[in-house]
Structure formats: structure tokens, C-alpha cells
Structure 1
């Protein structure tokens, strides 16, 4: 039937009888709701402009059967759910205009909306017309400055100098008479949201009309070779104000407009280039001159540095002068020596002396030599100034701090760190595993970056002081282990299905230095320690699939893991389609029973009465002709793990008229449902072997 209802609660009852006048009925109750929920955006006001990129959008909504809320932004092509119909408070809005729609519906799916438009503007306005101005100092300034804003409106201009005035429209005027000068002012513009931008300009007040061109103060012809870049600074000046430099040959050269730095912008060939350089001042008076750049062929320069042939550390006492001759040479022409410490002097022949009374200390000085083409070389030497005191006979004290003795590590590279106690530090070195080979020396206190070998290693550090007292540290022994331990889950096999909720997980592991074991289950967010690396035997597994990882590490913290997946299924399958059957006693039964299982597979069906047969797929048939009677049978189904479920049904073999009432089910509208229209279809289904008529 196609019917209509009224706003609010409605009900309908359907009655049916069969040809034997067996009468039955069914009732459905439902609500008709055609009223839209109310919704209104209260903040921000429509067409708001703001700098707040995290602006909240607040709204009110009401309905007796409120269901859900959501919103869309700009394109309306994507919706965002608003949990519990809360305000929009977590959005960071991008720069620009936004069109936001908030939607609400009720349980009858009546939908309403509210819209708002607002603009996010955090960018300042920008100048489109602002230039420096030049005028005679007794002339009034009237200059229109322009700016614009991409999103909102330009509000006003201000100027930082009270001798000037500027209108909000950008008209700049001078409020006083100026002497001859260049006055720099800062023009500021803001938009309606007070986003601010500034620009510096100058007003050049001149006494007379400037008709004098600028002039060059430094310009000369240049000569370079064909593999050298041209870098030449041209200078010029003007009585009022120099504006900039330009050249006529922009194919091969470029010049910095403001500074006059001339460079080549291509690889120059051997040639004599002539360039016209032009300068202009702020009154656009111009001057030009021709210069040449003569590019010659490249000749190999002397790039080999001089070298020392005799330089050694020196030791003197604090009452003795230093007299030491250093020798050096060069492949072409040696030039001179210099020293970096003013406590010493050296002449160009290499004669080194102290320039002051030296204190008792170790002086480290840098001797530099150069040749006639200024190629440099340097060497450090020290001058150890001692006093007339008892000679140093105390050995240095050395302690290795890393690696720690008897430690383990998982990398072959390490830093050999040590500390020392010594007032006259000299040099240190170390011995390797064999103890027969030594490293190069380093200044005392410099650590060593080393590498070791797999297995047991040892290192000993030796140091001497400036009096050549030698001592060594205690040796440290440490083990390098880069091999992760072996681990393998042996039980259960991967992808096992089982009903055993106390299933043990067994594994094997091996390593020469096992430290600890642990396991994680499913989520991998929490670990469980396995004391003494025992098997997993105390867990009661919940129903479902499990992903178990067992981890192991050794004393060098090398980590390995083994994984297994298994399913615990103790729940039987369940019937999805099993109903009592009625048929005439001389008719063959053929009825399909269905079942399913959440975790594993349905295996087979059985029936407890030998007068019936059922296939593993659930097809129930009768093997004999039955007399008129009702036969109760037990249908059993099992899954692949033999979890069982049973259900009793009957088969009614009849020989006389039908006395069974029709079964009627209203399918639309759904009982206790809500709908938003007062017209609807009243739909139903029935089970009846001998149907007659229905009404409501």
C-alpha cells in the first residue's frame, strides 16, 4: 500500500488470512518528523575581516531528535564531522577568503544549514608607487604615494618626520622650508586590520637646478689573463647625488649599478675589449668614458710553496737567550721568515731570537715562510723555557676512561678516551692487541678514534712529559660482538588454528653472551620480560588472531626477533538459516541449512535421525516416506577445529487441510523509526503455503 501519515507518532496493523481462514496480524509503530532542525552561526559575523588564523566558528542548533553535525569549507566538496555538534575550534585557516557552511540533521534526516563568509588577512599592504624626489629647497613638495592590499583595504599612510605630512590617501607634503640637504623619511602604510608595511625614500632639496654631470674618480684600463676573472671597482662622484653605473657591452661584462664593480659574465678570449662606462646623477646628468680590458694568454704561475729544511723544537732556561737559525728553501726564489708571537723575532735569513724576557712555560709558535710570489708555508715549533728548579722526574698518570675494562660493545669503531695528571704534558700513543706495535704520537690529552676486531681486544695508552718521563695506563680489555643472537620460534607453526587458550609458545636461542628475552603480542606497544629466556607458558590467549614476536639481545645489545601468527577459536559456528518445515507426507524434503564461523571455516553438518540425510554443505533431505506426524530432529554443525553447535527443528508431514497461521512481517516502515515525509509505502513479507488475502 502507498499511504500517508500525520506529523508525530503513527502505527499500522496488517491482517492476513489463508484459504483455511487462519487469521494473523502484525503491528508497526513509527514517527513522522518533517520539521528541519534549527541552526545559526553566531560567530564570526558574516563578511568579517580578521588576522586570527585560528578563528573559532560558533553556532547554535536545536531539534528534539538531533542526530549529527558537519561542516564544509570553500569548495563544499569535502565534509568534516563535528563530534557531539561542537563548535569549529581546531582549524588553522589559510590566508584568504573562506566560505564555511555548518550542516545539521535529525534522526529523520531532515537537514538544515547556516553559512558564513570571512577573510583571513595577515599580510601587510604593499607599495605600488613610491620614488625618491628631488626639488629646489624653496619649492613645496606634493607627491602622491600609492599602495594596495590583496585581501582588505588600505587604511592610511603615516610619515616618521614631523617636517612632512601625509594624508591617509597618500599625498606627501613638506610642512617646513628645508635647507639644501637629502632628507630620508620612513613612509608606513597599514590596512584595515592594521597589518603594517614601511619603505624608506629620500627628498633631495637642492639650491639650484643640477646641470653638472657626475665625474669619474677612479677608472683605468685593465689587463688580465684569459683564465682569470675580472673584478675591478670603478669609482665616481657627483655634487648632489650619484645614481648609478651602466656599460654598453652587456654580452661579455656586467657592472653593479650602485657600487660600480665591473665583472666579466662570460669566459673571455684573448682580445682587447673596449667598454663605454656611463654614470648618471640623481638629476639624470650623465658622463661617459671608454676603458679597455686587455685579455692576454695564461702563463703558469709559481704555485709551489717554499719548504723547511731545518726546524726543531728548542729548550732553554728562563735566564738564557734564544739564538736559533731556521733554514728553508724554494724552487724559484725564497723571500722571508715571520713569526706569529711578539715574544719572539725572526729576520729574513731565519735567525730566531726572544724579543722579551721569557717566562717559565712552553711556547708554541708558528713560523711562516714565503717566496717571491707570496706562496706561503708554515710549521709549528715549541720553545720550552725551564727554570733553575729540580728536574721533572715524576711520571705522568694515565687512566683509560673508554672503553670500560671488561665491557662489551656491538660496533668495531670506538673512541679511546683517557685522562692524565701531568704539569709538563708531552705526547701520548697507544699499543694494539699484540703489544708489539705503537701508534703515532699525539699531544697529551688528544683522544684516539680507532677500530677493533670481532672478539677480545685490549689497548694500553703510553705518555711522556717534556722531561721524557714515560708511563702507561693499565690495559683495558673489551669484547667486540657485532653478531646478533640466533632465535627461532619452534611451536606453534605459523598460521596455526587451535582451541587451546593456554597454548605454549616455544623457541630456541643461542649466543655466547645472552642478556635478556622478551615478547610482544599483537599491538607491539608493550613488552613482557621472559625471565631466564624461558618459553611463553603462562599466557591465557583471548579469542582471535595473535601476532607474537619474541625478542632477544646479548650483552653487546645486538637484538634479534622471531615471529609467529596463530588463531584461538573456541567458539562454535552459528546457524544463519534454519527453520521448521511443513510439507505433505508424500512429498520429498529438500531444505538448505546455512551456518558460518567468525574465525575459522564451517566443516560439516550432521543429523541425529537416520530417516533424514544432510550433506556437509547443509542440504537436508528425507530418506523414507513418512506418515502424517511432526518429527523433531537435531541438526549439528562443526568448524575446522571441531567446535560444535546444535539446533532442534521439526518437519511437519501433513495430509489434511492447512491449520497453520500465516507469518507476517512489516518491512517498511521499520518499527520505532522516524521519517521526514507524511507519505510512505507499507511493505510486508509473509510465510504461508496457501495465501488468501491481507488488509490493514
Structure 2
């Protein structure tokens, strides 16, 4: 059995050896076919920037240079393109082509993954798409249609797309690779305001794993001894450059083949004679897998004699950055065994033009220092400087340096504009700006900070000609920062803001006594920014921002203008403003009268009244008067006019008067000579009637506290006709000028002496007393009871008028009695009466018809006392009541009693007389 076993093992040995060899061979093949992940760069790129409302236009360029790696890394190198809303929604997009032509040994594709990371400035995106294609862009396959968010994602999304397309090595690798294609697009949904909004791509690339028979080297070589070289004039350059690579070095190259040559092994030589100077060259080395590395050095050629010359320490310092248009120093230390004959500097500008400078010895920099001043032109870029020195022995030496010039001046923002800075929620404002730069403006934009702290970037033009619209969907303060940058990266900014308020449906009522309209304009408080404007009349309603505004009211062909300041819309809703202008029935020498009826609360108002439509003799004599209580529709001053000319500015060029006021009522323009009294001729007398008045008066007439000592000559009052009298008064001043006025007053027919206080009145009647005290009283049916006539209202007005030079304090006591003598109201008060009319109102409701007596007692100057009794009939008066009142008024009851008594006596006497005679006759007959 043992022999059989050994024999069997010997028979199996060759088979085992063959199996082992087979396994080793397969293992070697598998090791050589390890999947590879080559460096796949984006070699082609195109974009969409809102140029079409249809996808696939691809008419814009990408932000970064390609071939390049900007889209391979999760960093800050972005591709940013714009969607746009302009009526329709427009597309933004990015399309790439990825290849690696250096890979020539791809056997098969193992896996294809596509990685992306993108986001949008706004959420209003639709028709989003990320797709890939292996068929030269003819048949894209969609990876996702989900739209991105509005902030940068935390992670990169990578999708296995191996099964989506028929990927081959020729799609990505080799000199004839067609390219792996990918695209991404999104469209604005067309809602909201017009605008331009950013779409950003940070990562967008293919990651391909493939199999090959040998794994390639992707690591570039590395220089081990690359350095600047110095040699003397006429000396031959021989510099052996070394480099290391993990596989094999292929060859070295030099860029300046006119002066230098280099072997594939790295020996650098000069191929022509080199003069004294500095020569910059670029050395490149490749390995057998086409990986390369490059480095720059300079070759400095110096004088070859021992009594030579040397230039060193050249300035500006190499690779320094300086500002254009600035003054700098170009210099170097120069040493020589012989006398130095000249030191020159050649400056090569960014545009390759050259400029020659002569350097002079400057002991402030040291014994060997040579320098000169230089002003950098307004050209941005690199400036090469070569300093060359010569000595009297004919030797020379050079030293090279360079610096970079930049623009240090920021742009100038010359204009920013917010079309509105006070808005209601939902209203739009426009943003625009204008910026300039000394070298070239770059771009302009604005950052808008919402009331809740979120920010929005709004792209703007820099020429100020166009603007972008900003929607407002929340109340509060919107901060705006305008930015402008230039091509050197300098930035300027300017700030602004606007306020957004809740909406209010504001009702306002405008009235004119005659026909026409009022032009109402509402301004931002303390500002000329118009919030609302319309020419209208009657009842109006407008949706406005709920805030405080200034109101300007203009009418009568713009000849009356009033600007009411600080009107709070929330508290002043549903109020009215009325105006009137008239030339008819003017009083007190007025040329025109304006009446104003205002219900709005305001801080103060500026009023402008034009007088260009008036006829006057001397513009300097025009004065402005104010009535504090003016009846707009009755066109009557109820208080008296007072001169406000001293608080008024007269503009003779524009022909207008301007003043500030805190109240409105009536305004009158009059013409008076400087020495003429501005008011009335002497006031009417006590107890107007048919009796004659004084025919002349010499007194000090006052108005507004200004005395005018003049003599008025007045005619007698006319007869009382229809309740009115008039007389003509004339004043002649020192210069002989005449002022004629016609005075009018109300009157009643003369009553018998002593009967004045007993005079009854019906309806509205007036009784004027000696001390300028008037009672007006009338009775009207109470509203709602007109048909029944059972309830009435008694209205009483007390007027006190002071014509004296000083205010008078008056104590008033009022009592109302019914016809039976019962007291139904009693009140006492004190009033300080200025030099104009003072009034007090009383109103008693729920009274029955009948006669009532109003008794007013006034005490002034502490000793003078006046008592006035006013009777008024409330409701219709019957026949018997009227008869009884007339009998009582004229004491007819006494006459009737007397007559009756006389008749009784006469009857008695007659009876006695005739009875006695009849008795006597009877006796005689009996006799």
C-alpha cells in the first residue's frame, strides 16, 4: 500500500506543478489589471446666463479657464451663472466635456461616477436637470430633476452612472477621445418681480475607474538642483540639471532656444555668446508617463576681469507690489576697481514698451548707492527692471529685478437712488447707482438686508441708466448697501435704507365752495419724496402706508398753497379740508379773501398766497390779514381781522406772500398806505336806530396794537331800512391822501323811550349794548320731533367785543327763565377779552314751546356793571298768546281797566241822573 501511495504521488506531481504555475500566472495578470482612477480634467466648458426662455442655448462663457480643475474640488472656485425673470423665466446652465488624452492603455471601463454640488439664490426654480451623455451630446440621460436649495449643501453628491450610458475607453482616454459629457440647467418659474438671480456650481466632474495591463505613473518629476547661475562675460555655460522621478525621466526642455540648449539628460549650455546682463529662462522636465514639472531661473553674466564692476541689491525688491501712478526709487549698489562711467536702468512695461533711466550717485543710500526717481504709469501688470553699470575700463555689470503694479484707487460711487424710501407692504421700489473708476469699473450690485435679517444680492448696472425692482413683503426697515469694484479688486460702497409700513385705507374729503378741484400731494414727513398725489374733489379713499406724512393742498390755479406738516394717517382718517376764494362783497378794503376749513391735526403749516392776479397801486403797501373764525360758506369773518404782515415774507419777484401758521380760517390781502389806519372807521354807536349819531370823531384808532392818530369825518347814520343802516366816513392824512369807508350795521326801528329792555324778539334777534356785549338766541325744533313740535332746543351765543387798547377781564352771570319765571339754567364764568371778538355758546335741549327770558349780567373794570335781558319765543305763538303779549308789552291792560272804570262810572251817573229825574217827573205828575 505504501509503494502504491508513493507511486500515486509521483504520478500527480507534474499536474500539481502545472496547477501552481497556472495560479501564479493568473495572479500576476490580476495584479497587472488593477482598476485605475486617472486625473480627469474638465477640458471644455460652456454656460447659459439667462439669454433664453428655452433650454440648451449655451451662448455664454464659463468663469474659469479650462482645461482646469476648478470644478473638481469642494472649495471656493465657483462657476456662477444667472437665471432671469423678465416677464418669462430664463435658463441658467453649465455644460462640460472631460477627457485625459495622456491615458493610452485603457482596456475597459470599470465604473463611472458623476459628482456635483450646486445651489440657487432663489427658490423660484423649475425644470431642473443634471444629465450625462456618452454619445457626443446627442442623447443625454437624466440623473436628477430635483431643483437645488438656496444655500450651499454640506456634502457633494456622487451618483453611479455606469449603467446609464454605454461608456467606453474612447469616451474619456486617448488622443481621439470624444469626451464624457455632462450638463445641468434650471429655469426661473416666472413669478414675482423681474430680476437676475445666481445659480452656483462648486463641484461638477466625472470620476472614472478603468482597467489596464500596467498601472500608469501620475506623479510628475521633481527638480533636485534647479538654481540661478552666474558666469562671466565670454564664459561658456555648462549646467547639469538633475531631477527625480519614481519611474524614468524622459527629457528636459528650455524655452529660450535662441540663446540656450539643453539635452534630454539635463545639460544646459549657451548656444550663442552672452553679453553682460540677466537672462530669465524656463526649464521643463517630463517623465515617461508624460508627467511634467517646470521651474524658472535666471542666468546672470558679469564682467570677466578682476578689475571689473558689479551691480547688486537692485530695487524695487523682486516681486514686490506697488501702486500705479506712484513715485518710487530705482537703484542699486555698484562697486568697481575703476571709475564708474555710467549707471543705467531699462524698465520694460507690461505692454513690452521700454523706458531708459540714468541713475546718479546718492550718498544718502551709502557710498556705493546709485538711484533715480520713477513714476509708475497708469498701466497694471509686471514691470521688469535691468540695472547696468559701466566703468572707464570698458567693463559692465547688470542686475535684474521686477515689480507688479496695481491700481490702488477704489471706484467712486457718484449716485445711488431708491425710487421710494417710504412704501406700503407689497409696494415696489427701484434701486439704481452710478459709479466711475480711474482705471476701469468692474461691476456694481447692492446687498439688501430685510427686516428679519435675511440678505439679498441685487445686480445693478454701473451707469445709473437702468434699475432693478425690489419687492417688499414685510413691514420694517430695509438696509441697502451699494457696491462697486474695479478690475484691480478695489471696492467702494454707499449705504441707504427705506421703510415699509402696513397698509391703511385712508379716507379724505376735499371741498370747494365753488366748482373746481384741489391738488393734494402727500410727502414723506420732512422730505420732498411724493407718496401720493391727485387732483380731485369730494370723498376719496386711497391705500397708503400707515405713517405720518406732510399734506400739500393747492388750488385756484396754484395761487393758494398750504403744506400741513406731520399728519398722522392712523388718527386723521375720514377728515375734511375745504377752501374758498372770492372777490365778491369784500369787506374792510380787501382785494381778495381766502377761506379755509380744516379738520386735520398738524404741527404747523407753510402757506403761500400769490397776488399776481390782483389789481393794486403799490406792491409795498400790500398787507395780509387773518380771521381766526371764518364762516367758509357764509363768507363772513365772525371774529375780526388782524394784521399778520409782520410774520409774512413777501417775494416781489414771484409775487407771493409766504408765512407759517398753526391754524387756518380766513386770509385777506389788502392795500394800505403806511400812515393809513388798517381797520375800520369809528365803530357804531350804542342803541342803533333812527336817531342820528355823532358826525365826527377824533380818536386813537387801534388795530393789532398799532395807534393811528387821525380824524375821521362821518356822515349821519341812514334811516333803519330792512334792519340795516349805513354811513360814509372819510379820513384825510397829513399828505392829503383820502381814505373813504362805508360802515354798515344792523338796526331795529326806534322804540318809545324806556321800552328797549321790554322789546320781545321772535326767531334769531340781536341786541347791541353800550359795552359791546351781544346776545344772540334762537329756538329750533329738536331733531326727530319736527312733526310733533313738542321738544325744542334753545341756542344762545354771547359775543363780547373789546375796542379798547388793552384786554378786559369780564365776569359773566347768565340765567334762563321760562314764562312763569322758573329758573331752568344758571351759569357763571370769567373771560379775558382781547382786542377782537370773543364768543361763548350755550345750548339747552328738551324745552317746550313758549317764551323764555335770557338774563346776562356782566361786570368789568371791577365797577362797571351791565345787565341785558333777551326774550325769545320758542315754537309757534298762538293768537291769544300774541294778543296777551302785545297787551302786556304796551301796558294796554291798564288802559282797558281805566276805560272800563270810566264806562262804569258813566253808566252809574247816567242811571242816577235819569232815575232821579224820572222820580221827579213822577212827583210832579202826581201833584
- What range describes the TM-score normalised by the shorter chain of this pair? under 0.3
- Bigger relative contact order, structure 1 or 2, given CA contacts below 8 A and separation 6+? 1
Give 1 or 2: higher strand fraction: 1
- Structure number with higher helix proportion: 2
Structure label with greater radius of gyration: 2
